[in-house]
Amino acid sequence: MSFSQIWIHTVWATKKRDPQLKKDIRIQIYKKFREIAKEKSYFLDTIGGVDDHVHILFSMKPNQTISNIVKDFKGISSKWINDNNITEQYFEWQVGFSAFTVSAWNVELIRNYIKNQEQHHKNLGYDDEINKLDIGELT
């Protein structure tokens, strides 16, 4: 029998960081992310974000890859957004993403961080946030 706990915190932005993800739109997109996760058998734990980017905390199986999981979330959601005219203009995610491993002992810390994105971004821009995440500083 095998056991694993592979926790990943991912972040990606809208194309050109265009602030298209107003709160009502984020709620719809988060629901779509949960549908994608269920359909693909991904364990999606926490979703959060602001007008120009999203954070997702998920746990993955050893036979899954971060790139494929993110590709599914971004590709399926952007197609759905455009097919259903969720945003006022054509929607695209920015190319690429950031991914950070999370120790099982720090999962709750990351959950809370993701849930409080609006508060964090009152004084912190996207680039500064990614730099802080890169060095493990979540203040």
Domain boundaries in the chain?
A: 6-135
**Amino acid identity at 97:** F
| pLDDT tens column, 85-121 | 999 999 999 999 999 999 999 999 999 999 988 776 6
Tell me how far apart the terminal alpha carbons of the chain are, to the nearest angstrom. Answer: 39
Q: What is the pTM of this model?
A: 0.88
Helix (H), strand (E) at residue 72: helix 66-83
Q: SS3 for 28? A: helix
**Amino acid identity at 63:** N
Q: Which long-range contacts (CB under 8 A, 24 or more apart) does 87-92 make?
A: 87/20, 87/25, 88/20, 89/20, 91/14, 91/15, 91/20, 92/14, 92/15
- With beta carbons less than 8 A apart as the criterion, state whether 31 and 85 touch: no
- With beta carbons less than 8 A apart as the criterion, state whether 89 and 82 touch: no
| pLDDT tens column, 81-94 | 999 999 999 999 99
State the CATH class of domain 6-135.
alpha beta
